[in-house]
Structures are given as C-alpha cells and as structure tokens.
Structure 1
Amino acid sequence: MKKYFINSVMLYLLLQIGIVSAYSQTAQVAAGVIKISTGEMDKFTPYGFCSEPPSKAALDKLPPGKLPFNIADIKISINKRGVVVEVPLDQSEQLYGFGMQIGSFNQRGLKKRPIVNDNPLNDLGYTHGPATFYVSNKGYGILINTARYTTFYCGSTARLKNNNDTTAVVKSGNSVEELYKSDHKASGYVTADIPGAKGIEVFVFEGPDLKNVMQRYNLFGGGGAMPAIWGLGVKYRVKADFNQNQVDKMAAYFRNNHIPCDVLGLEPKWQTAAYSCSYVWNKSFFPTPNEFIDSMKNKGFHINLWEHAFVSPKSPLYRPLKNKAGNYLVWNGLVPDFADTAASNIFANYHQATFVQYGISGFKMDECDNSNISFGSDTWSFPELSQFPSGIDGEQMHQLFGLLYQKTIYNIYKKLNQRTYLDVRASNAFASSYPAALYSDTYVHEEYIRMILNSGFSGMIWSPEVRESNSIKDFMRRSQTAVLSAQMLFNSWYLQNPPWLQINKEKNNNGELMDNAQAVEADIRKLLNFRMSLIPYLYSAFADYHFKGIPPFRALVMDYPGDKNTYNLSDEYMIGNGILAAPLTEKQDERKVYLPEGTWYDYNTNQRFEGGREYTIKPDLTQLPIFIKAGTILPLAKPVEHVAPDTRFEITCYIYGNADAKATLFEDDGITFNYEKGGYNMLNLIWNKNKGETRRDGKLKNTRYIIKKWQVIN
C-alpha cells in the first residue's frame, strides 16, 4: 500500500475541508489482526498500556479469517471536531460488545456511548468496562484504540447522498400509527464519533467465526487470565466494621459448619482512614494484623483487602505521590497518576512491602469508575478537566483508571510469581490477561445475568455478587447465578450474620435468625458444594481462555453464530465447552430454555432433549439450571471446604451420550506462573468403547487430579 506524507500546512487545509482519510496506513500486526492508522495518535490509549505481548504461536494456529468487506472500505476522516470511523455493515449483521454493557445485548440499531460510570443505568452505554470494541456474527471485530469518550451509531444513521436522486417514498395514511410509522432503513455502516482526536488506530480482528474473533482479541492482548485456583472457590466479604476477633469467629463458623470458603474479604474499617484511604492497619480493630493473616492462612483462608486509589493526607503514600497526582482531589485525597510508571511503582512498592509480603492474597479495588454521570448531584470523583503530570487528561484517565489500577496491583503478584484473583469496579480494552473480576453497586438480577454473557465479548471477568435479598427465593436464585459465574461471591459488608441465616437486614444485625435458618443453610451448602465440585472443569476452561483465547463464559451466539434463535438470547450462556446455563430470577418458578443443535441432558434429571427447540424447565432452589451437551465428559470433584496448595481432587467423570468422547483437564500448582514456563500437565480423559482411560502429558511432577470413577449418562 502506498504511504503518504503531509506537512502541517497541508494537514490544516485538509482539516478545514473535513477529511484526511486518504492518508491512512494499513499493516498486519499479527495473524488475523490488521491495524489501520491515520493522523496524529493519542499518547494514551488502551493498547498502549497493554503489557503482555501477543500470543503469537496461538494466533498462528487459528484458522485464517476472511472479512465480509474490503479493508479499504473502512472510512476514516479527520475534521475540526475530531475523528469519524465508518465500518461497513450488512443488513443481516448482528452486533455485540462495547464493553460490559448492562442494559442491552444485541447492539444492532442502537447508539452506544461506552463511558465509565459507577451506576450504569438507563442503557446509555455507560458501563464499568467501557471498551470501544464490538464484534459481528459475520466473523470480525473492530476496536477503536482510544481512551476518549466515543459514540457508536450501530447502523442507526443514514447519510445524505451526493447525487441527483431527489425521490423519496412518501406514505400517506389517516391513522396516528401510519403517520408515525417509519420505513427508514439505516445506512450500511457502524459510525464511531471520537471528538477531540487528531488521529486514530483501528484494530480489525478476523474470524472466520465469532468465537475465533474473540480468541484473536484475547490472544492479541496476551491470552486470557489464569486466576489462582483457590479464587474459583467461595469468597465472602465480612461486615465493614468487623474487628479481628469477629473475622476469626466468622472463619470458625464456616469451618465448624462445613460450608466451603476460600477467601475472606475485609471492608473499609481495617484502615485508619477509608474515604480517602490511608492504607494503614487500624490497630484498634486489627491489633496484630500479620499474626491474624498467618492464623487465617493456617485455617485455609486467603485475606482480601478493600481499598480505593484516592490517597488520604493521613497516608504514608501522600507525600511521595503529591507531585505525581492529578490537580483535583477526591474526598480530599490524591488521585495517583497511574499513567506514569514512577507513580504506579510507588503505589505498588508500598502495597508489596506492607501487605503482599505478609500474605495478603488480593485486593478489592473500589470507586475507580467515576461518579454517576446520569445525575447532576453525583460529583464525588475528579472532573474531566483534570490534568496529570504524565499529560493525560481527566476524560482519558477516567476511561483508563480502573485498567491502570488493576495493572498496578496485578504486577506486584506477577513480579513475585504469585497468582491472585482481584476485584475491581472498572476496566477497559485489552484487560484479558488480568485476573480481576468486575462488580457493580447496581443489583438488578436480570442485568447481572446479561453481564455474564457480555463479559465474553469484552475480555473481562464478571462477578454477579450476592448481597441483600427480597426473599429466600430471591437469595437462592441469586446464589445459583453466582455459582454459575466466574466468581462465587457473597458481599455481606452490612450484615452481622451470613445472609442465608437471616435475609432481613435489621433482624440480621440484631442477631435475630430466621426460624428456618438451618434449612436454608443446608440448601446453600448444597449449592456451594456443587461450586467446589466444578472447580477442575472451571479451571480448565480458564486454561483454554489463557492458551487459546476462548472465553470461559460466553453467549450462545458465540458458539452458534448461524442460529438466528441465539441472536437476542441474553439469559443463557455456555460455561466451557459442555455446559449450558439458564439461570432463573425471583420472578420465575419456571422458564423457557432454548437448546441449540445437538443433544442435551438436564443435569438434575438426566432427561434427554433434542436441540433446535425450546423447552420449559422448573428447577427448584437447590437444582442448578444447567444442561450438558452430548459428547461431554464432565469431571466433577468430591467437594472440599477450601483449596489448599496440596489439594488433590477426587473426580468422577460423567460421560453424556453413548458415543466415544474426549476431554482435557489442566493441571499445575495453581498458585504460581510456572505454567508460563511449561510447568503443567494436560490430563487427557478418554472414553472409548465403553472404557475410560487417562493420559498425562507435561512436565509437572505432582498431580492434582485423581480419577476415581467413570459414569455414563444415556
């Protein structure tokens, strides 16, 4: 392709007439990944902060893709307002993505503005993960590499054509419905409007199918995250004002009652100051923090600390960061310039020396998603006009703040060869490699389910945490969804007792337990035991995420892009390759489930169903609403109460269907990054001629899985 060079005078003239599209450069930057560059690029972009190199070998193994349009048909123009990108759009295409969208699923025909927001209501496009990335069921993805507030018109606009055709179809009618009816068909483009930009990079990810697109995207960012294996167990956040003794009693409750739990999260009161943060242990609440951490570790618990990044004047970090922060305060605290390596290193080094080296296994990174921009009264965060020493402005910092924050904390653990599983309230593009689960202060159950599906289009991990409940039914349905998600989390930051003992907040904090508390406790124990049984399967799905780029949780349209019945199906999803989940909410005693092509089995009843049809299911509160695809070997482990470094899972392999089948379990130490150097096994499960066998391939000497039994489900 020809390269063009223009001087500043010519560029100015071109800006005045509103187009510089002819001067773009196109390059293939990895197998199936094309980059188009035009104009003067921003210094701060999501990909510019991606620290993991592309997984080249894995990208090379993917089948070659073919775009449904010519790459030259992507139009980029620069004008006085900013940059406009137009991508061809076929009338039959379905679009997904734009980060962790909460209110919508199929984005075709919508206007989306993915802007970071702490309360993303009203389906404006506001989100905890504002990735400027979308995918098409025609087998390609488009990423606009910008941290600016960008608006996408997803086939919802039509240009005035510059020709002599002045004819228009005009309909007449007498009814109000006829007068207001529009037969207008939108133009054949997705149009992205990026105000303030002087140039842009556009990444194009080829298929050939929707799943391959997401594989390329995740692998281009270094491969999907591999959480510590204990992170796939149960996380429980205790009441915000619990002291050391109260946390110890809660830990004893879990173990004495044989309720699985791997992680206990401490909320704000562990610090001497929380809004803004001191990052200093509150000795009146935790008089011996390091002894406390060791004690919890000996009982099989990991400790996770709540914090946010706004640095209190009371913090030891205040003075070192004062000249490396934005020019506006939040809760009278500094906003660290995480775009500056020196600032992020100061923040990280303090956390490593003060917390991580003493055994803190992870952090909950709160309040990094801007105050609610849907309401004028919410003004707690820094303004968009903020300036930072690195040169990044407030708008770009808002979009990248959560991403840079989690990167800063994650790199502590990566440097120490110690894996973690973090919580964060904002992210952005190219976050696939970070083991950080997004969460929200919103709480609509239907939206929480939808975000599990949308996470698969964003390279992010979603945690539909369980908090308050309207009823026992509501609590159990929410818990079922959490069991069938990337992170099983109860957030009891305002509850004295576990929510399954008393769902009423006031009575819970007064110590008044429900009359049927023990029965509900038994039911929740049953759900959590299933979660622990599923860990080997989930862990291997995350291994596919890391090595192959396949999202562990994904919408059915990703696996069945040619099935029109999946195009708008926003409340069913795949877990790994063999499990289809269809959660219910409090409003439902039963629900309709669409099963794609193939043969499926109800996990609870073993009843067989033929795909391509819709069925009605009525699972009770302790039955997981899942279906297993024929040909699947489902490895379920004997439940453990927590995952220790030396835990060996005793597994029963369930073979669904009467045909030969194969599956693979990923096996490593579960707590280090040694797998990146080949320190793992692939345990091949083979069912052939009504006989099961295993074969281990790899360098790991120790084994984590023991295959105890094979059982056929016909």
Structure 2
Amino acid sequence: LGFTQRVPTLYSDKDIIKEVEEFEAHDFPLDFIGVEPGWHSMAYPCTFEWDTTRFPDPEGFIQSLQDKGVRANLWMNPYISPAGILYDQIKPFSGSHTVWNGLVPDFTMEEPKTIFREHFMEHHIGLGVSGYKIDEVDGFDHWIWPDVATFPSGTTAEEMRQIYGLLFQRMSANWFREMNQRTYGLVRASNAGASSLPYVIYNDYYSHRDFITALINSSFIGVLWTPEVRSSGDAVDWLRRMQSVCFSPMAMLNAWADGTKPWSFPEVEEQVREVAQLRMRLLPYLYSTFAKYRFEGIPPFRAMQLEEGLILTSEIKYQYMMGESILVAPMFAGMETREVLLPPGRWYDFYTGELVGEEEVITITPGLDRIPLFVKDGAIVPMLKEERTRMPVKGEILSLEIRHYGKEPGVFQLYDDDGTSFNYEQGDYAWAELKVSIERNLLIPQMEVSNKEFFSYGQDPEWLFMTASK
C-alpha cells in the first residue's frame, strides 16, 4: 500500500538498483518496483523466462531489492512466445488463434494451469517475486481473439474474453497463497467477479478526470482502480495527478515509456514528496480500511452515493470517500476552485481541523500544494507519528499519532497483523478500539487492544484534537 515505481521497459538489474538508490537519495517512499517487459527473454508475446543479459542473476537481484526494503512486481501479457520453453507444452491446451503471435492457454483446463504453476513457482515466486502486472487481457475481437476462435474446453471466444483476466488473477493469487504470502498486483481488465482478488485495475487511457470517474465507479462492484501517473506536460498537471494517485488503491508512477521520476518537475518536488509521505503516514488508517474490505466487503474507496444518509438531488462528480471518514476532492490542472458536496453532519478540513460546512455544497480555493481532504465530525484518524520511506517490517514497533476531528465522540477500529501472510485467517491479528468520549465537556481518549501479541503499534499514542485545539 506504499508507493510504486514502474521502470522503463529495457531497464536491467543494475539500472533498477540505481533507481532504488535515487529514491533513497531523494528521501522518497518506495514500496515495490514494477519490472516491465524487458525482464523476459522475449516480449511481446512472453517467454516468462528471465533475460540473461539484463538479469544474469534473478535471485540475487530480487534479494538485493529485498535488502533495501523493496519488492519486485513483474509485467506480463499471458500469451506464450514461440521462443519460450513453455510453448510446446502449452500448445495442445491453447486456443485456435494467437495474440501478438503468442498462444492463448485455455486456463479453464487443469493441464495448462499446472504447467504455468510449476514454471512460475520455480522461476519467479520461489525466487522472491512479490506479484504481477497482467496486461493485454482486455479488448474485443480485433484486439485479442475473434468470435470465431475456439478453445479445447469448448469455452466460447466471447466467454473466454470475459473471464481470461479473472482466470489469471485467481490462478496467480492461489500460487502466492500456497507460499503463505500475500500479493498485490495490477490487471488491465476485470469485473465484479474479481472483488475478492488482490488486484487493482489500470488502463492505458490517460484522462485524469475519467481516471477519477473510473476509481469511483469501480466501487459499485467492489473492485479497485488506480489513476496511475505516467507523464505530464507541466508541473501543475504532474502535481495534481500525483496527489490523486496517492489517494487511490495503488499509488503508482508508471515510467515504462519515458523514465519519469516523482521529482521530474523540480519546482513541485517537495509537494509531491509531501503527499507521498502523507499516504505513508496514513497507513494505519488505510490498512484498517482494507481490513474492512476483507472482512465486511466495504470498498476502501467508494462513491459518494454509497455514503449513508446522503440524498442526491443533482449530479455529483470527482469526489469520493477513502475509508469511513475522509472525503477526497481531487483538483485538476487548470482548476483554481471547485465545488464539494458535504454529506449530512459537520465536516472539517483534514489539515487544519477547521469547520468547512454541514450538509451543503461548498466552493473551495485550496491552492496548489495540497489535495483537498475533509473529515466528518467525530472521526478518528490513526496515523504514523513519523515520516518513513519504506513499509514497516515484522517486529517493528510503530509510534502512532491519533487525530480526532470535530466536537462529537467517535470510535475507530484499528486493525493490525503481520502484513505479509495469511495467518490472520487463523486468528493471528489484533483490533484496537480507538475511542473519544465526552465527559464534563472534555474529550477523553482511550485505546483498548485485543490480541496484543499481534499489535505492532506503541500503546502510548499521541492524541491530537484537531478541532478542540482551535
């Protein structure tokens, strides 16, 4: 859930390690590196074999990343190159038509799933690869296979187009589960059947406004979308896009084509770093929000139409909820002001704690430096007390800053587990009830932790009463 950088297509292991070191030099957060098509010995289509020139020691490369607290996510399109060792094994279980001249395995059959599993476990996951980006699984008959294509299982071409991305998501997620290792990846096409799978939708389209619309609309079927950043014509558009992506399911800069960095526009480098660090500090809130997605099915990023008590009398665009308490209202290049619809109750500025309105439409002029964020009355927002550039590691004790907004009492359920395994399914997790009550006109904070052995936060948090202090 930290920050992700996808590197240029033909980067080598040395290029990628240098990129990680540049992130360190710029004091910029980095969670995982996306390795684009050049890691394959041939792509497009793919061999799923490491290129021995650019990556002579894949295991050593992945270990070097892990030593720096960074994980590796591999790009693929799931079509098999004639140059690959899998080609002859998969051919009897493939469709009648190719994509990018690559075989299309019929993953409704057990045989190709077994062949892929053995290869991926030996050559990727067993070496420490943490996830995949699944490309080119969207489109229709003139982009992938036509309606007349046939598959060995008897699945029709149209049916296979609808489920192909889902099949690969489920298959790969199961491989990681076998290792008792969680994954978080990307896919270019999905649907409601993927709401339980650990993948975020991305797209080669690049309208900022439409990206935000897609993020919002995806919540209606419980799936996730990232408004990835790739490039910009000026610093303002760059900053606005970076602000949006840091308040999305995956904070990602995709530099596969042009090698952009978070600091590519020096005039806004500090503001970009600030919003990336804010995302890192919000990890306790964000992780708990994703826990509710897992346990209760509540989308972590969701349309305002799903906010309880909100009655819409006109169209609402370009704003959404992150978790139960934070309203996000992105700005776009060229905008100086915008309207924001506030749901029932009092709402406060995230940064200052000041009251901004109550069940009304407000007009804001936020300036360039920050993305507008609003918090409901009584909300409790747990944050990391200090900035950091890497994700927490097992056994690390983290200091909390817990913010309360408004004048009402509030409760927040803070979740924690080891962050990497499925042991939480066996009960290895903790909930902490963060509570603010009112006694004799005073706000009284309290934190009660269950299963303390699985709780990695310090139990002497700093409470900030953002509104009361005003």
TM-score after normalising by structure 1 = 0.63
Aligned AA (2:283): I
Task: Report % sequence identity.
Answer: 36
Residues 500 and 255 of structure 1, relative CA distance in 2, 3 Å threshold: closer
Of 248, 266, 290, the match for 1:542? 290
Shift of 1:596: 1.2
Counterpart selection for 1:705 from 434, 453, 457? 457
Distance 1:577 1:608 in 2: 18
Alignment of 1:367-446 (within 5 A): 367-370=136-139, 379-446=142-209
CA distance in 1, matches of 2:454, 2:219: 32
Q: Which residue of 2 aligns with 1:693?
A: 446
1:255 aligns with 2:3: no
2:301 aligned residue (553, 564, 579): 553
What is the identity, as a one-letter code, of the residue corresponding to 1:709?
E
- Separation of aligned partners in 1, 2:222 and 2:454: 31
Q: Which sections of structure 1, spanning at least 5 residues, go unmatched?
A: 1-231, 374-378, 503-516
Mapping of residues 58-457 of structure 1, within 5 Å: 232-370=1-139, 379-457=142-220
- Compare CA radii of gyration and give the structure with the larger one: 1
Q: Quote how far apart the aligned CAs of 1:380 are.
A: 3.9
SS of equivalent residue, structure 1 residue 412: helix
Contact 2:429/2:454 (<8 A) preserved = no
Distance 1:678 1:430 in 2: 26
Structure-1 separation of matches of 2:317 and 2:198: 24
Q: What's the secondary structure of 2:356's corresponding residue?
A: strand
* Aligned counterpart, 2:281: 533
Tell me which of 661, 668, 672 is aligned to 2:421.
Answer: 672
Q: Aligned partner of 2:43: which letter?
A: A
Tell me the distance in 2 between the aligned counterparts of 1:702 and 1:606: 32
Query: Is the contact made by 1:604 and 1:623 (CA closer than 8 Å) also made in structure 2?
Result: no
1:138-183 residue CA offsets vs partner (Å, 9 max, x unmatched): xxxxxxxxxxxxxxxxxxxxxxxxxxxxxxxxxxxxxxxxxxxxxx
The amino acid of 2:134's aligned partner reads M
CA change 1:501–1:564 in 2 (3 A) is closer
Q: Is the 8 A contact 2:309 2:343 kept in 1?
A: no
Flag the 1:650–1:621 CA change in 2: closer, same or farther, 3 A.
farther
Secondary structure in 2 matching 1:264: strand
**Number of aligned residue pairs:** 460
1:657 counterpart (375, 397, 406): 406
Aligned to 1:585: 332
Q: Displacement, 1:572?
A: 1.1
Query: Is 1:642 paired with 2:405?
Result: no
Q: Among 317, 320, 328, which residue is 1:573 paired with?
A: 320
> Structure 1 residue 625: deviation in Å?
1.0
Superposition deviation, residue 562 in structure 1 = 5.2
Deviations along 1:551-601, one digit per CA (max 9) or x if unpaired, are: 111111111465124x63131111111001111111211111111110000
Aligned mates of 1:398, 1:541 — CA distance in 2: 32
Letter in 2 for 1:459: G
**2:416/2:454 contact within 8 Å kept:** no
Once residues 329 and 609 of structure 1 are traced to their aligned partners in structure 2, the CA distance between those partners, rounded to angstroms, is 57
Deviation at 1:433, TM superposition (A): 1.1
Contact 1:597 1:610 in 2 (8 A): no
Distance across 2 between alignment mates of 1:451 and 1:500: 26
Q: Which amino acid aligns with 1:679?
A: D
Contact residue 331 and residue 371 of structure 2 kept, 8 A: no
Within the candidate set 621, 641, 646, 2:368 is matched to: 621
What is the CA RMSD across the aligned residues, in angstroms? 1.5
Is the Cα–Cα contact under 8 Å of residues 348 and 355 in structure 2 kept in the other structure? yes
Q: Give the residue type in structure 2 aligned to 1:444.
A: S
Tell whether the 8 Å contact from 1:430 to 1:459 is kept in structure 2 after alignment.
no
Q: Counterparts of 1:402 and 1:554 in 2: how far apart (Å)? A: 23
Cα deviation for residue 610 of structure 1 reads: 2.9
Q: Is the 8 A contact 1:684 1:694 kept in 2?
A: yes
- Residues 1:523 and 2:271 aligned together: yes
Per the TM alignment, residue 486 of structure 1 is displaced from its structure 2 partner at its CA by 0.6
How far the C-alpha of 1:497 sits from its partner, in A, is 4.5
Structure 2 residues not aligned, in runs of 5+: none
Whether 1:612 and 2:359 are equivalent positions in the alignment is yes
CA contact (8 A) 1:345 1:408 kept: no
CA contact (8 A) 2:222 2:298 kept: no
SS at match of 1:287: coil
